[in-house]
Each structure stands twice: as C-alpha cells, then as structure tokens.
Structure 1
Amino acid sequence: MASTNWTKALEPDELPEGRVKTVVVGTHSLCLTHYDGQYGALDNHCPHQGGPLGEGSIEKGLLRCPWHGWDYCPLTGKPPGDQFDDGVPTYAVEVRDDGVYVAIDSPPEHHQTVSDLMIQTMVNWGVRWCFGMVGHSNLHIADAIRRKELTGEMTFIGIRHEGAASFACSAYGKLTGRPASCLAIAGPGSTNLLTGLWDANVDRAPVIALTGQVASQVLGRHNFQEIPLEKAFGDVAGYSHTVLTNSDHSELMSLACKSALVNQSVSHLIFPDEIAGLDQPDVSAAVPDGRIASRKFSPPESPYQQALAMLQSAKRPVIIVGHGARYEMDRVVELAEQLNAPVLTTFKGKGLIPDSHPLGCGVLGRSGTPIASHFMNESDVLLVLGASFSNHTGITPKKPTIQVDLDPMTLAKFHSVDCLVNGDIGIVADRLKADLLVNAAIDQRDEIAERWKIWNREKASRRSDDRAAGVNSASIFAALSAAVDDDAIIAVDVGNNAYSFGRYFECNRQAILMSGYLGSIGFAFPAAMGAWAATQESGTPYSGRQVVSVSGDGGFGQYLGEFSTAVKYQMNITHVLLHNKELGKISKEQRAGMWEVWQTSLHNPSFAQYATLCGGLGIRVESAAELDAAYQQALAYRGPAIVEIMSDSELI
C-alpha cells in the first residue's frame, strides 16, 4: 500500500493570488493554484489532451487549459456545470508557516517494462554506450537506459543533433568492431539519424538504432510526427522491426545485436509509445551465450593453391591492405617481411603499418604518396587484403591480383580478379607464411628507403611555401605528426583537409577513422566523440588513448553544437580545424571542370573564441611557427580543445 508524504511545494508568498504555477514534486508534475485566498494542487495534465494546466490562467474564477480552453475549478478540479463529465485529480494541501505543502503518495514499486527488458538484453550483449536525444516518444526507452546508467552498466551521451549520434556510433563500430546504440524520437529525430547510419552501412560498422514511434493505435492516421519508419530505415538497416505487444521482446533485441555483430551492419528497433512502457515483470533478459559462431575459416583449397603459386613465382610482389585487415596486421606484416613485399594501404587503412617500417609505403590513391603508387606500378603480383577496390584508392586491374576477404560480396566487387580467396585474412596469412618455403621475391627495402628520401625532400620543400594567405598543409601535418601520441585515434573529415592528411601525416601506430564510401562532410568531430567513448572502457585496446579530429571549417560547421556536448561530458578531444573560409575541395573541382567558382565561400565565427565560450580551450594559429606550441597546449588540456589554423586553401 502506498504511503503519503507531505512535501513542500511553494515558499510562503511565492504564488500570488489569482495565479497558477507548474511545480514538480518527486516524479509528480502538479498545477499549484492560488484563488480566493486558498491554495489548490491539481494534476498538471488536462484530461482532454494532456495540456499543461500550470501554464494556464485563472479567468472568471475558472482554471483555463492553455491548449484548448477547457475550464476547471482551480481548487477542486471539477468542470463547471455540464461542460463535460470528467475532472482533474487533486492533492491535499496544507499551508504552514514555512510554505505550502502537498500530500503525495510514494511512487509505486517499479516493474520491469518492455523497454527495461530490451535494454537489459542489449547490455547483456555488450552494448555500453547510447548517443541520442530524449524526447516525448522515447521516454520509456530513455528511462530504461537511465536505470542502466545508475547501475554503471551503460552511459548515455545527450547530443545536440541526432546525426552526430549516429556518426559517433558508426565511428565507435569502425574502431572496435562492436556496436554502440543511438536513440531518437519518432519522425524528425529518426530521419536525422539516417546519414550517420548510412555511413555505418556502407563502411560495414555495427550500430543499433532505437527509435520511438507514435502509439500503435494511431499509426496510419497521419498522426503528429508519424512516418513509416520501417520503410524509412528499410535499406540502411540490415535488421529493422517494430516492437509489438506480443513480440518476444528479448529475442527481438538479441537478433538485432546478433545481426549488427555478425553482419557488421545497422540494426533498428521501433518502439510504439504505449508498447515501450508495458509491464514485463516475470521475463528474463536473454544473454548471447551460444548465439554467435566463429567466422574465422580457411579458404577453399584450389584458390589458395593458386594464390600460393602466384606468390612463389613473383619477383616484385606488393601487399595492399584495407580497413578489413585491421585486426590481422601483425600476421600480415610477418608475411610481408617473409616476402620482402612493400605494404601499401588504402586511405581507410592508413596507419595499419607504420610509415617508418622498412616495408611501409604509405597510402595509395588520391590521398596518398608517390611511394605507394610507384611500387604498385612496378609490381608483378598484388596481394590485396581487406580492401574493396574503390575508385578513390585506384588499385590497378592491369596487374595479376590475389584478393583475400571474409565477405564473398567484397571479392571482385567492381571487376574480375585473377585469384579470389574467400577466407579469414589472418588464417590465410599464417598459411602462406608456412607454405612459402621458397619464393623468388627480391628485397625491395633499399628502394623503399630511397623513395621515402625523395618524398621527404619534396615535403620539406612544400613546407617552405608561403603565399601570405595562411599556413600550408605540409607544415600543418608535419607538426601534427610530431605532436600526437604514437597510438592516438584520429578522426578525419572529407575535403582538402583529408587529402592533405593522407598525403602528409606520417603514421606510426595511430588508428585512423573516416567516412569512407559515403564520404560525408561533418563526420570528424562526432566520430571523435564515438572514439572517445571507446577510450573510457578499461581493459580494452583503446583505453586511455589520445583522441584527435581533423576537419575544415565547412565540415566542423555541420555539427558545431556538438562541441558543447564534448564540454558537458568533458571529452578529452583535440580538434584541428583548417580555417580557410571556403569549401576548398569544391572550388578546386569547379576550376578543374572550367566552371566559375561559385557559392563555396564561408562566413565563419572565430572558432577559437567559440570554443572558449562553450567552456573549452580555443587556440588560434596564424603562422607555421605557432603550430608546435598550439598542438602541445591543446593536447595537454584535459577536455575538448580547438586548434583553429588559418590555412591556405591552395597549398594543400
């Protein structure tokens, strides 16, 4: 039986005669009234459509709802005359010397709801983070997450735009191979998630999207914020389902988690408002034990033997690694050393082998080095591991090629390939090391070193370029290479800043995150938020690592408000912002196509001052000589910082 507590709701003389006020007492929202010398306490929800009575007014002795003008007695909650037959619940009131008190029943014991059950299942599957925005159609889900946060099993990050939430989840999935979750309301909140979810979809990152929905009884009636969410998410999500009254709720969440993990894809669950809050008191949350089989398997023997023969006879073999090889690089590098093979990376694979390694040749393609291009062109066999042959990378189809990938759809995705090996990259690398007892490959290390000397001289020459129009990119990224930790996590945007980063930043063991196939501007800073979350997980490979993001002014402007999110949660992120007042890559494309440069200029604030106004650190850099000190100060700051570099849009 519920007990009654007398709780102070108003100070003496706080509410003038003839006025009303909303007061929250515990979990109760009340409308306090002062009329005819007496105080009343009514439930704050009009029984018509839930209008907030505390925002209404007393007119001619009656409390009027601000939404539709329905009237009630301000003391008894009764409607006048025969207007309608319902009324507003009231609470006992006492006026004491120190204020006005209201009798409130203690809240009933909480019973497990559909949302509690499903969020607990998600936690059991290892999901520890949720990025999102709490709103009226996801309040049951939000409360379930709140309860898990109280027990330390989940952490919620409240963002300013749902697109940042899905980008953060995409980056977390790309980095860790595990899903984070994002939360949005029905309608516009859900559609705002789509860009970041598409980024996850095309780059094979696991994400779980949780969206509210209007109550099921009004679906199909063009209700406020109603859209057909299963259709809206149908292509982006590999698994998308609506939670129904009689669903096996724990199993729905288990399948969503399994699909995200096994398929490295987006899963989506839709929660109609009234179903999300249904009681499920006696149901246990599912666990993942025995639900996922190992995906590590050896390739079929015939293509493997073909690959082995091609490598045994190759004199100048080259290995090209993409993002799909990121968890197997120790074994890949051992194979490269045995083969004396130069190792090139795709842009998404930048940093998988240090540039300082005797066989490391940097990035291949538009964002790459002339070293990588040279060795691909001089090769007689290409061994491509975990890469998908995007046109951005430009892996030539004219060389004899072996492609190894776990995903059969990635094999020969764009054109035919000489030898297709469907299997685990690590297993294939180990077998090749064991079976390549004799090979014809020459040692190309000296040639690699000579090519690096040539490229380093060119980069040094470019660092001296100065048109008096800002700092050149060669200097910006040379200084950043020297400043960041060897194992930093770096999120990069799209545009000229990304091309320059790929070309000039010298990787050691840093993990690089980017919007690959989608190529979405604005990715970098929300991605850094997702990476920061991974660094907060003790006992993981990412714990405590430095997080840096890089963008232009156009990209950062897309999610400018999220810097305040980073301040709120004290995320230790250093953002390097190339400020040239222009969408420089688009200007370059317009010139290349012989168009007039049009509508690519930007009107910007001082981003350094903006960072300071938000409560973070902002540093403005106007010359190359200031770079080292600015980076050191920003990286040492315990919280979010912006290094705003006035950069030359031409010297990229």
Structure 2
Amino acid sequence: MSMKVGDFVVERLHAWGVRRIYGYPGDGINGVIGALQRADSIEFIQVRHEEMAAFMAVAHAKFTGELGVCLSTGGPGATHLITGLYDGKLDHAPVLAICGQAEATVRGASYQQELNLDRMFADVAGFVQEASSPAQVRHLFDRSIRVAKADNIPSVIILPKDIQDEEYEEPAVAHGFTRSGVGYSKPKIIPEDADLSKAAEVLNAGKKVAILVGAGARGTAPQLIEMATLLGAGIAKALLGKDVLPDDLPFATGAIGLLGTEPSWDLMQGCDTLLMVGTGFPWSEFLPKDGAARAVQIDIKASMLSLRYPVDVGLHGDAAATLKALLPLIQRKEDREWAKTIETNITGWWKKLEGRAKAEANPVNPQRVVWEMSPLLPANAIVTSDSGSCANWYARDFRVQQGQAASLSGGLASMGAAVPYAIGAKFAHPDRPVIALVGDGAMQMNNMAELITVQKYWKRWADPRWIVCVFNNQDLNEVTWEQRVMEGNPRFEASQDIPDFAYAKFGELLGLRGIFVDSPGRLASAWQEALSSDRPVVLEVKTDPEVAPLPPHVTFKEARSFMPAMAKGDRGAGRVISDTARQVVDGLFGKRD
C-alpha cells in the first residue's frame, strides 16, 4: 500500500520503540500530525510551548533511559525548542526533535517562517539534516535515532511541509541511494586489563580515598557501595548524580560544589586519592588542589577524561562494567580512621542542617520546606527541581531514599525546567508520585502555563499525585545572593523584585488542589495533605528571601564582598538570619579557609 512520507515517519518511529511525542502543532508539521492521527499508535502530548516539549523529552530520556521525542512546526516553533535541546546536550540525554519547515519548493526565497534550521541546530545536535526527497527520509530517521541513542545527544530532523505530504518512496537498489535499518543496542565498554591494574594500584596505595559520582554512575550503586566499603572511602555526589546512591549510607557525604555540603568539601580537601565515576562536575575549585591527590577516572566519553582534574589513570568505559572489573583488584583497607572521620562529619552535618532548617525566618524558612518534605515522600517518588535558590535546598535538604529518582537542568542550569521535567516524569511513570520544587521566578517565567497541560491530562495517570511546590519570596533569590556575595553589591530591586501572585488559587482555578502555607508549623501537614490528594496539587509556601543559599565553603574574597553589600543600604541587611551572618563571618576571618 502507498503511504505519505508523514505516515512512514510515524511507522518508523514506532518501529524504533517510540510511544510518546511531546509537541505543539502548526502548518509546517501538519503532515506528521495527520499521520499520528491516522496511525493512533504513538501518544501525542500537546504542551503549551515548544520549549517545554523539549524539556519534557529530556525528562523522558533521563527518567527512562529511552529516547525522548519532541515535535514542532518550523520558524518560531523550531526556535522555541532550542533551549530544551541544549539542556539535553549538556546533560547527555538522547532526544530526537522533529521540526517542520517551509516547502522545499520555496527554500532560499525568504519565505514566511523559512529559517536555515540546519545551521541553527548545528551546535546543539549530534546529527541534524533537512530532508529533500522522500527516499532520503528512511536513513535520516534511522541514523538520527541511532546517533542520539549511541552518543546520548539530541538529533534533529527537519521536514519541509511539502515533503511530508508526498508519496513515500523506498530507496532504490541503485547507485545514488542508501538503505538503512532499525535497531541499536549499547555495548559494554571495558578498559584494558593493564589500565585496570594501574587504577587499582593507585586506589590501593591511597590512605584517604574520596569518590565522586555523577549521572553516568546511575545503576552502579551495588558496585559503588562495595568499592567504598573496601576502600573506607566517602562518596560525594555531583548534582546530576543525586539519586545514584541513597543519603542514609554512612559514607554518602551528599552534594558537592556551590550547592554542596560541608562533609563533601572536607572529603575533597582531606583526601589523598580520588576516584571519579561518570561525572562532568564543572567546579574544579571544589576538587583537591593539583598534586594533593592521585586520581582515577571512569567515563564512557573519552573527551571527559582528565578534564576537570589531572588524573593518573583514565579508564574509558561503561561505569558499571568497569567498576565490576576493577573491584576484584581492590584490597580492603584495615585502617578505618578516615572512614570514621567521614561518618562523624556526616552525622554532624545532618544535625547542623536540621538546625538551619528549623531556624526562625519570616515567615517560612525555605530550607524547612524541603526538610519537612523529605521523610514524608514515598520510596518510589520522583523529585525535580528548578534552578535558583530552591536547587540549594533540593541539593542539601532532600535526603534521597533507595528507589527514589531525581533530576534537574544540570549543565545548562536553565530556569523553567522543573515543571516540564515533572510532567515528562509523570507520563513516563504514571503510577509514581512526582514532586517539582520551583521558585516563583521560574514559575512566572514559563511554568504556570504548563499547569494547564497538567489539568488537561492528569485524569489519565494511574496515580494522580503530582505536586508543584512554589517558593514564593517575590525575589529572584539566587541572583540576589550572587549580587551580594560575588559582586559585593546590595540587592538591586529593579532587577530582583517580582510580583506577588496567588499560585495556589491559580491551581484551584484550573480544577487542581491549592494549598497555601505561611507558617512553618503548617508545613508537615501541608505536605501530608498534598501527598494524599486525589488530584494534582499546587503547594504555595511564603518563604523568606533572606535565608542565604551560601556554598559550603565561604572564601575570604566572598565574605569580604558580602559585608560591604550589607552596609550599602541593602534592604535585607537587618533581617539576614544569624546563622547566615555567622557563616559569612567564619569565612571573613578564615576559619574555614
């Protein structure tokens, strides 16, 4: 039977295992939309904005390990996709974007919505190509999907409007044609035995071993636990690796970096040996100083080896398979003093964190929002966070349990990703509760509209529990503190003030449940109500913008900048809580430098 190119596209996507596409229609992609309608084999999720579709596709890839797919018309629809696709590129997520385009017959004529999309997507995509004939479409889709899955990177296919509606032609068995096929399975890549032996020699020789894991270590928890137990090591987690290990392990020091913990800082500054697994953690100032530690790194991408820290042995390989091959070569360390120090630091840190979370604030301490949430979450919960100050509390106060999943926009650190991530996670796992932590800035930027998407689809979900927690402090809080601590400037109201808005009431207007909290004593019961709701919830908490999201180590330079900012008429100077001031003063006088 004859079929149109659009029908072949849908058939081929289905053959590759695609069962869901996030997107927004438009005349430039109507040929594919019509084919989706005719086939009724792939679910189409209509979002409110194409950027959100790309974020949802990234979330699908992150929370399933499968290919995420998004779709848009050409012109502005395609340009809207690009931020979400960059999120996928920087966080190594396999995503396919399908974009419409002006008719092939008018390409080069400055036609309406005609953009050179292949050039625009050239940097973000591992493979990008515009179709020019029906016989070309088969290998374009096969190759684009294979590249995306193999390299964990976005691919983009651009389909001119008229090509979609032409009769599909199989490529001929003739010169000038190529015939491709469906299917790809990732191999297990393991380093040479000689390199594994060199790595084991470094790790066995170390007396104070630290391990740093990222998203590339996902699925390696048993091997990491065995490695840490043998070496008496502590394990710090890059932000994208937050759910690699549960936080109740005695050697798990938590997050590292600007949003990290004191035990992770102490681990890196005190170690003499470092093992990095599946991480591209960018902030090298939080790693040991050059020459202070010998290092081994495992990564599936050779380009990431020895990039953040000069390693003695770089192991190019799959994290799980490489750890499994390395473990038999590791000797158990009998001296456990280093391990005891790590455990003591962790125990003290959780107590300190509880004190900070329960410190008085006006009206609600934002740390406490997540501190109260964490123990109430079911063991199968999925948590997403936006960028901004809420990511600090996600990184530090959310104590991940075995079986839970979590992620955020890591490499791109884009505002506005938490809600589409949570929607993508919910469609991928409709039987699991999903929670999004969002600042009011990101909520106003582009997340509120996607609550309409939730309203449209939530009754399809097996478990209706989907919660967005909005930190309402009327401040672009992360940047406010960066202005104070990094620049030494007082808060700039013109850039930092954002309007107050009744987020919970907006949720109720949509038929969702709205819960408003402006008292710390109400937090625990509010979370319990949200987690037992029979419909999605907008939980709005009025939080104090003067609780500082300070890094675990305040440098002398940062502390010196902060104090003048407080003296320059910053309106929050008189309300910065005492614990914040104490942290800064400690930095000023070098107690942690």
TM-score range (shorter-chain normalised) is 0.7 to 0.9
1:618 pairs, out of 473, 491, 514, with 514
Alignment of 1:407-418 (within 5 A): 407-418=301-312
1:454 pairs, out of 348, 369, 372, with 348
1:237 equivalent in structure 2:
125
* 2:309 equivalent to 1:421: no
Alignment of 1:54-69 (within 5 A): none
The letter for the 2-side match of 1:588 is W
* 2:165 equivalent to 1:277: yes
Maintained 8 Å contact 1:179/1:206? yes
2:277 equivalent in structure 1:
385
1:66 equivalent in structure 2:
none
2:420 equivalent in structure 1:
526
Q: With structure 1 as the length reference, what TM-score do the two structures score?
A: 0.78
Maintained 8 Å contact 2:88/2:154? yes
2:256 equivalent in structure 1:
364
1:213 equivalent in structure 2:
101
Structure 1 portions without partners, runs of 5+? 1-109, 537-543
2:5 equivalent in structure 1:
114
Deviations 1:289-330 (A, max 9, x none): 6x4354312113333222110111222212111111112222
2:574 equivalent in structure 1:
none
1:288 Cα offset (Å): 6.1
1:547 equivalent in structure 2:
434
Alignment of 1:320-399 (within 5 A): 320-391=212-283, 394-398=286-290, 399=293
1:316 pairs, out of 188, 208, 213, with 208
Alpha-carbon distance in 2 for matches of 1:293, 1:129: 20
1:591 Cα offset (Å): 1.8
User: Closer, same or farther in 2 for the Cα pair 1:276/1:551, shift >3 Å?
Assistant: same
Alpha-carbon distance in 1 for matches of 2:85, 2:350: 39
Aligned residue for 1:221, secondary structure, equals coil
* 2:429 equivalent to 1:517: no
2:489 pairs, out of 567, 570, 595, with 595
The letter for the 1-side match of 2:25 is V
1:481 Cα offset (Å): 0.4
Please state which structure has a larger fraction of its residues in strand: 1
1:505 pairs, out of 398, 423, 428, with 398
Alpha-carbon distance in 2 for matches of 1:327, 1:190: 34
User: Closer, same or farther in 2 for the Cα pair 1:393/1:629, shift >3 Å?
Assistant: farther
RMSD (CA atoms): 2.1
User: Closer, same or farther in 2 for the Cα pair 1:247/1:433, shift >3 Å?
Assistant: same
1:182 equivalent in structure 2:
70
User: Closer, same or farther in 2 for the Cα pair 1:484/1:255, shift >3 Å?
Assistant: same
* 2:322 equivalent to 1:434: no
Aligned residue for 1:409, secondary structure, equals helix
* 2:193 equivalent to 1:304: no
Alpha-carbon distance in 2 for matches of 1:340, 1:144: 58
Paired residues, what number?
Answer: 530
Taking CA–CA contacts closer than 8 Å with sequence separation of 6 or more, which of the two structures ends up with the larger relative contact order? 2
Maintained 8 Å contact 2:268/2:286? no
Deviations 1:252-278 (A, max 9, x none): 111111011001011111111111011
Alpha-carbon distance in 1 for matches of 2:335, 2:385: 36
- Structure 1 stretch 597-606 or stretch 436-445: which is displaced more? 436-445
Alpha-carbon distance in 2 for matches of 1:189, 1:294: 32
1:243 Cα offset (Å): 1.6
**Identity between Structure 1 and Structure 2 (%):** 28
1:41 equivalent in structure 2:
none
Maintained 8 Å contact 1:477/1:504? yes
1:489 equivalent in structure 2:
382
1:132 equivalent in structure 2:
23
1:604 equivalent in structure 2:
500
Aligned residue for 1:372, secondary structure, equals helix
Alpha-carbon distance in 2 for matches of 1:415, 1:357: 26
Maintained 8 Å contact 2:51/2:82? yes
1:620 Cα offset (Å): 0.6
1:557 equivalent in structure 2:
444
Alpha-carbon distance in 2 for matches of 1:140, 1:564: 26
Aligned residue for 2:346, secondary structure, equals helix
1:575 equivalent in structure 2:
468
* 2:144 equivalent to 1:256: yes
Maintained 8 Å contact 1:321/1:385? yes
Aligned residue for 1:555, secondary structure, equals helix
1:200 equivalent in structure 2:
88
1:281 Cα offset (Å): 7.6
Aligned residue for 2:147, secondary structure, equals helix
User: Closer, same or farther in 2 for the Cα pair 1:293/1:524, shift >3 Å?
Assistant: closer
User: Closer, same or farther in 2 for the Cα pair 1:441/1:344, shift >3 Å?
Assistant: farther
Alpha-carbon distance in 2 for matches of 1:288, 1:525: 36
- Structure 1 stretch 340-349 or stretch 187-196: which is displaced more? 340-349
1:335 Cα offset (Å): 2.0
2:371 pairs, out of 478, 498, 501, with 478
1:417 Cα offset (Å): 2.0
2:566 equivalent in structure 1:
none
1:363 Cα offset (Å): 1.1
Deviations 1:459-511 (A, max 9, x none): 232233224x2211231111110221123111111111101221211111321
Maintained 8 Å contact 1:177/1:261? no
Alpha-carbon distance in 2 for matches of 1:449, 1:165: 43
Structure 2 portions without partners, runs of 5+? 173-178, 549-593
Maintained 8 Å contact 2:139/2:181? no
1:637 equivalent in structure 2:
533
1:22 equivalent in structure 2:
none
User: Closer, same or farther in 2 for the Cα pair 1:499/1:604, shift >3 Å?
Assistant: same
